[in-house]
Amino acid sequence: MCLIFTMTTSAFVPASELTTSESRQAGILPRGCTFSESDWRALAPFWYPVAFSHEITDQPYAATLLDERVVVYRLSDGTLSAARDICYHRGVPLSLGHVESDEIICKYHGLRYDRNGKCTCIPAHPNGAISPRLRLDMFGVQERYGLVWVRLVDDGPLPLPEMTEWEDPDYLNVLPDSVAINAAAGRQVEGFLDVSHFAFVHTASFGEPDNPVVPDYPVVKTETGFVADYISTVSNYSHEFKHLNPPGFLWRRRFEVFFPFTAKLTVFFPGDARLHILNVASPVSARKTRLFVPICRNFDKDAPLQATLDFNYQVFAEDIAIVERQFPEDLPIDLQAEAHFPADRSSIAYRRGLAGLGLGRSYTA
């Protein structure tokens, strides 16, 4: 008899005793889950990107989110479907199959499932009854900012992080390749928010070794996280273009955090020029992250994009070299676990916010 581990108890429950709908509501822990049960429960109701829009066609696409194996595919009307990547007949990943007439077909025995996850045909018994257990676990899925977002547990309406400029025709959209990071998503996001490492980690890109002082900056709570407004003389230009930095110009960097793992950075360039970077750390597992970074700007719209891409990949690489080596690997939620100084205001607010989501003091992601 097939056994499924539920998060509601510490016992195993036979699959025959749970319908697919009940399984989703129970919040089944993925096989080999690297998160604690309470942390997985706290994180599963949020939206995370698992792919670029251009990657999803009528060919099933396999992804992993919070240790859950997910299959995503596009229907004939352009909409998307997402499901747990398994056929409950004999446990074969549906991502091995194909889509035909808006139905995903299992590679092993040809079972067909419609857009709602209902099995519509068993080729071996075309006129036979179909067990209600042959129904897919469907997930919420939507597209925005050139990304495909999936939500494993739907516990009510929840908006995506905001980047309204992506839809503004006055802005140029840039979509760098995703980056695989062998580190916790929380560690990556906290590093993105950190403003006191520029002079030490980013010396080859934009940091200024002789300008390490961090001016005071405010942190204000919002409904989805918080905003940190940081103003300093540290330029956001690559060293290659430092000559474009006006003498004495004060650079404003506005960080908007959307819990748990998204942060939008707006850099105010001279005049009305704006650069927006959406840093989205998608947790593959507790210590593996796939980073997506949609970027848009309203200046230099005719300039070659490769320079922008190369600069961002360089900055990512400089950060990753540090983040992948941090210890403990898990981001400490207990503020007494590590020392802090005034420049860490955003980090402190971030850790407190994660604790407010219900994540454990020894946070695993």
Domains contained in the chain, CATH given: 49-157 (2.102.10.10), 164-356 (3.90.380.10)
**pTM of the prediction?**
0.90
Retrieve residue 124's tokens.
Answer: 């071996």
Contacts (Cβ under 8 Å, ≥6 apart) of 304? none
* Single-letter residue type at 242: K
Mean pLDDT computed over 296-314: 91
CA dist., res. 146 & res. 63, Å (int): 16
- Return the minimum-mean-pLDDT range out of 2-16, 96-110, 285-299, 314-328: 2-16
Of 6 and 339, more confident: 339
pLDDT score, position 206? 84
Closest CA to 138 of 214, 211, 79, 54: 79
- Return the minimum-mean-pLDDT range out of 149-158, 172-181, 275-284, 353-362: 353-362
pLDDT, tens only, 13-63 = 333 334 443 444 455 899 999 999 999 999 999 999 999 999 999 999 999
- Return the minimum-mean-pLDDT range out of 77-91, 113-127, 200-214, 291-305: 200-214
| Cα dihedral 338→222→150→291 (10° resolution) | -50
Q: Scanning the structure block, which residue is given the tokens 């300093």?
A: 232
pLDDT score, position 151? 98
pLDDT tops 70 at residue 236: yes
Mean pLDDT computed over 142-157: 97
pLDDT score, position 307? 87
Contacts 24+ apart (CB under 8 A), 128-134: 132/19, 133/15, 133/16, 133/19, 133/20, 133/88, 134/88, 134/89
When pLDDT is cut at 50, 70 and 90, the band that residue 1 belongs to is very low
pLDDT tops 90 at residue 222: yes
CA dist., res. 346 & res. 293, Å (int): 20
